[in-house]
Amino acid sequence: MGAILWHKGSGFGYDSTYVTIENSGISTNRTITPRTKVQMASLQTNPLQRNKQLTTIVAFTAAGVGASTLKLIDAEQDDASAWFSWCHPGGNKTQTAAESSVSSMQ
């Protein structure tokens, strides 16, 4: 029952300047972080998550005296991939110059 409550109220969102990660269940923990404070981001999966196309998102921030880690377990894979791209505004570093100019014209 606790896992169902936890999953139902958990989620994340982002816009041009902030990312919000909320873990909820019996209590709620919501963290709003400026994009400029996200130092590193990663996506992690295990075999059960891959089977259901889910991902764990992890953001490492430069908040406070030491670094902190924000984590959301079982985010939808497509949403997590879009968030990961948002965290890396330079985009794919292996993209060719021709691909880059085509995507910028669209």
Which CATH number do you get for residue 15? 2.30.29
> What is the tally of structural domains in the chain?
1
User: 79-91: per-residue pLDDT in tens?
Assistant: 999 999 888 776 5
Q: Is residue 20 part of a domain?
A: yes
Q: How confident is the model at residue 9, as a pLDDT?
A: 74
Backbone angles phi, psi at 60, to 5 degrees: -100, 125
Whether 94 maps to a domain, the answer reads no
What type of residue sits at position 104? S
Rounded-to-integer distance, Cα 91 and Cα 7, Å: 30
2, pLDDT greater than 70: no
Q: Does residue 101 lie within any of the structural domains?
A: no
Full residue range of the structural domain in which residue 46 is found: 2-89
b/e 46-85 (16+ beta carbons within 10 angstroms → b): eeebeeeebbbbbbbbeeeeeeeebebbbbeeebbeebee
Q: Does residue 104 fall inside a structural domain?
A: no
* pLDDT score, position 67: 73
Whether 59 is covered by a domain: the verdict is yes
- Residue 55 φ then ψ, to 5°: -145, 150
Please state the rounded mean pLDDT for residues 19-44. Answer: 87
pLDDT single digits (tens) 14-26: 888 899 999 887 7
Looking at every residue in the chain, the average pLDDT score rounds to 78
**Residue 97 belongs to some domain of the structure:** no
